[in-house]
Amino acid sequence: MKLIILIISLAVFMTPGCGRKLEPMPPAKEDPVIIQSITYDNNAFVVKFRVNTDDADVTLLGKAQGICPQCEDDMLRKETLHASKGVMVVKDSTPQGKCMVYRIRLEKGNVSWSTPARIFCSE
């Protein structure tokens, strides 16, 4: 009996795995701009972000949190900077609400790209 259990267990453990092995995926490119943090200091929201491309215009977009935080059409341009690779900080000194939605839009030539919406509340 022990011999049969041993043979069955060996047969189960020795069988090859099923499925096919796929080629490894190449590493994905980094987003052109990434919001790293949002803080609230001295009645202003401070947005820290990293730019991963050279010679581009970056714009802080913001609005009070409302029904559609993902919608971009009603976002206000807070500040526009010309940027190169590196970390930058921009302040929104005139927030429209206690909870704000922020995005960073990067424009380079005829290409425009926006970060996902980030919601942050002052309290």
Please give the single-letter amino acid code of residue 63: K
Give the chain's domains with CATH numbers.
Answer: 29-118 (2.60.40.10)
Could you list the pLDDT tens digit for every one of the 123 residues in the chain? 777 887 777 666 666 655 667 777 778 788 899 999 999 988 899 999 999 999 999 999 999 888 888 888 889 999 999 988 999 999 999 888 899 999 999 999 898 999 999 999 987
Contacts of 84 (CB under 8 A, 6+ apart): 51, 54, 55, 56
How does DSSP assign 59-71, residue by residue? Answer: EEEEEE--S-TT-
Provide the H-helix boundaries in 15-92: none
Q: Given the structure tokens 């509340």, which residue do they identify?
A: 121
Confirm if 44 and 95 have CB atoms less than 8 A apart.
Answer: yes
- Write down the pTM of the prediction: 0.73
